[in-house]
Amino acid sequence: MHEIVLRSTLKVSEIKSFCGAVPSLESLCAAAGISSGEDEETIWAEMVKRNLFMGEPYWIEDRAAERVINAVAKRFHDRLLALASGEQA
């Protein structure tokens, strides 16, 4: 695999996939608002079933990538609105 870095503006609409790493189970559950040990075990079992392991990279493609990008864009937008209205982000 090779990587070429160009100096060009990347438009969100041009992103088709990207790579990420599965965070720790604790941080994943905390981000999702899950505090039950039983629920954590269910999540762990589902991750093992899908071959997703903590710290290992995985690809997000097509519609999944679009959903993640839209969610991140919404969070940025919401934070900017909060800052503009004087709230703490």
Q: What are phi and psi of 66, to 5 degrees?
A: -60, -40
| Separation of alpha carbons 86 and 28, rounded Å | 30
**Sign of the CA dihedral with 5 first, then 54, 43, and 75 last:** negative
The tokens 């965070």 sit on which residue? 23
Domains of the chain by residue range: 19-58, 62-89
User: 0.75 exceeded by the pTM?
Assistant: no
Over 90: is that where the pLDDT of 81 sits? yes
Tell me what pLDDT residue 78 has: 92
Q: What is the pLDDT of residues 67-78, one digit of tens each?
A: 888 888 899 999
